[in-house]
Amino acid sequence: MFDAESLVPRDKHDIAALSGIESAGYPAIAPILDDLLAWTADGNWPFAQPRLVF
């Protein structure tokens, strides 16, 4: 069983969590969207900036 809660970043330096979130995609991350939005509140945190994918 997939545990979406395990994808919520542990701290502001948990950049590795982003690849798990991207891999899971929507709707798998739907239960944690509110938690993920909290990581974008401060524009100085790494999670707040969009990632460029080439």
Instruction: Name which residue leads in pLDDT, 1 or 33.
Output: 33
pLDDT for residue 30 is more than 90: yes
Pick from 1-5, 6-10, 43-47: least confident: 43-47
- Average pLDDT estimate for 4-33: 89
Q: What share of the chain is helix, strand, coil (3-state, %, to 5)?
A: 45, 0, 55
Note every long-range contact of 16-20, with CB atoms under 8 Å and residues 24 or more positions apart, other chains counting. Answer: 18/47, 18/51
